[in-house]
Structure 1
Amino acid sequence: MRVEWQPALVLHKRAYRETSLQLELLTRDHGIVALVAKGVTGAKNHILRAQLQPLQHIKASFLLKGELGTLTQSEALPPPLAFAGERLMAGLYLNELVLKLCPRHDADNELYQRLLQARAELAGNGDLAWLVRRFERDLVGHLGFVTPWSFTASGEEIGPERHYRVHPELGLMPCGAEDAGALVGAEWLAFNADRMPSRPALAVLRGVLHAAIASHLGKSLPRSWQMIGELSRSLLK
């Protein structure tokens, strides 16, 4: 199948043979595709290589045949964005989550738009830990990996002053304030309403979300978790 000028986000790239790259793209209409970009590692192709770096937004033409297709053309899509340091690391982590959790060749425009929006936010100066928690929340919810956290396991509304913890299979359960993983209801309500919770609450939510992700990945946990632990403390706060 030949695809012409499909908007896509570059998730990952690695060297392929002597002069080529193997790319993983999240396309708008064809989901995640693996492509070979042939002959792009020469000195004269530095502009093309820059377009094909992770987190770049491009439009691409490619030929799909089996599991590994061929990139035939690509152009950068405006606006150009650059990432460095912790924000680059966070972006690579979001890409890795998509690669590990999402099926290939499965058209998902909502996922594409979510990652595109996260990319734009990474280029800004908003709170990085909150940006990552929101994406994790939206992704696991979108994929149906978690029970709803907008009410308790017994169907009751969340009380702002009561405390709750997450049961991995049942959902929110009332608990004591000193129980492991406990959050007061007001923090859960803020999280569900897309309002940034307190900094201590973000740390608890990180554990909750990572447990949900790990339950579906098994031993194939994101390598970025270790890298973030070593190189960036802001995402762990």
Structure 2
Amino acid sequence: MSQHAEQAAAFVLHSRPYRETSLLVDLFTLEHGRISVVARGARRSGSARRFTLQPFQALHVSWAGRHELKNLSQAEVPQVMAPLVGKALLCGLYANELLQRLLQPADPHPRLYLYYTYLIQELQQSADLEGALRTFERQLLENLGYGIGFSHCHPGCYYQYDTQQGMIEVTADRGCYTGTDLLAIAEDRYETVDVRRAAKRLMREALAPLLGVKPLKSRELFIKTRRTA
């Protein structure tokens, strides 16, 4: 019996060698979420897929298979995308690793897909890298059901983040967040240094319980790159 082929817009998150001539590719798709496919023969000399199945490349793909690991049928490139370099590359690797670690297979997140598309566009243009990354992290938490509630935050008040209760109002203390900064984060306004610092710390606090104790390879690479710069 022939298998029904699925198709979708997708981004490559990661690819690695599989058996002698194939690639194992993790995709983030618009309609189906994260899926893993085998690109058979993609590592053979002369195979165009060797160059198209690269991280951050947008594709139109089709696949078939009844099991979690699918067989890639087609991978068309609607537009060749400029490679990410420098800090933009490190930010992209970090975002891809978050999706690989936190998304369940075949769990659609079309809204998150649009924010990921926005992030990649910002990284390619080397625009507001930090603001785009914080926006993506916040949307990732929202889509996973771990959104940070900001509705009760007020300017002039101070808050601490609790993984179970969210933002808790406290008296002014070292290490707490200001209501002004939190409201700016809620609206993705990262114009000031204070807001950027607060957003980076808050997103790291919120993501830590989901990621567990296993360190992020992209974060280790960023630290190593900064030390050797």
Give TM-score scaled by structure 2 length. 0.89
Task: Report how far residue 220 of structure 1 moved.
Answer: 3.3
Q: 2:18 aligns with which of 16, 21, 24?
A: 16
Name 2:210's counterpart in structure 1.
Answer: 216
Task: Report how far residue 192 of structure 1 moved.
Answer: 0.8
Task: Report how far residue 79 of structure 1 moved.
Answer: 5.5
Given that 2:160 and 2:170 are in contact with CA atoms closer than 8 Å, whether structure 1 keeps it comes out as yes
Name 2:159's counterpart in structure 1.
Answer: 164
Identity %, equivalent residues? 31
Name 2:66's counterpart in structure 1.
Answer: 65
Given that 2:184 and 2:195 are in contact with CA atoms closer than 8 Å, whether structure 1 keeps it comes out as no
The residue type equivalent to 1:171 in the other structure is G
Name 2:197's counterpart in structure 1.
Answer: 203
Question: CA separation in 2, counterparts of 1:101 and 1:48?
Answer: 27
Name 1:43's counterpart in structure 2.
Answer: 45
SS of the residue aligned with 2:149?
coil
The residue type equivalent to 1:41 in the other structure is R
Task: Report how far residue 197 of structure 1 moved.
Answer: 4.7
Task: Report how far residue 4 of structure 1 moved.
Answer: 4.8
Question: CA separation in 1, counterparts of 2:151 and 2:127?
Answer: 25
Question: CA separation in 2, counterparts of 1:232 and 1:161?
Answer: 36
Task: Report how far residue 106 of structure 1 moved.
Answer: 1.6
The residue type equivalent to 1:122 in the other structure is L
Deviations 1:12-68 (A, max 9, x none): 1111112110000111212211111111112212x4222100110001121123121
The residue type equivalent to 1:208 in the other structure is L
Structure 1 residue runs of 5 or longer lacking an equivalent are 152-157
Deviations 1:113-166 (A, max 9, x none): 221121111111322222211111111022112441232xxxxxx331222221
Deviations 1:53-110 (A, max 9, x none): 0110001121123121111211112252321111111111111111111111122211
> Does residue 186 of structure 2 align to residue 184 of structure 1?
no
> Does residue 31 of structure 2 align to residue 29 of structure 1?
yes
Residue range with higher mean Cα deviation, 119-128 or 93-102: 119-128
Q: 2:222 aligns with which of 212, 228, 235?
A: 228
Question: CA separation in 2, counterparts of 1:67 and 1:30?
Answer: 12
Listed as ranges, the matches of 1:64-143 within 5 Å are 64-78=65-79, 80-143=81-144
The residue type equivalent to 2:83 in the other structure is A
Question: CA separation in 2, counterparts of 1:220 and 1:63?
Answer: 32
Name 1:3's counterpart in structure 2.
Answer: 5
Residue range with higher mean Cα deviation, 20-29 or 76-85: 76-85
Flag the 1:141–1:232 CA change in 2: closer, same or farther, 3 A. Answer: farther
Give TM-score scaled by structure 1 length. 0.87
Given that 1:5 and 1:61 are in contact with CA atoms closer than 8 Å, whether structure 2 keeps it comes out as yes
Given that 2:10 and 2:61 are in contact with CA atoms closer than 8 Å, whether structure 1 keeps it comes out as yes
Question: CA separation in 1, counterparts of 2:164 and 2:6?
Answer: 43
Given that 1:32 and 1:103 are in contact with CA atoms closer than 8 Å, whether structure 2 keeps it comes out as yes
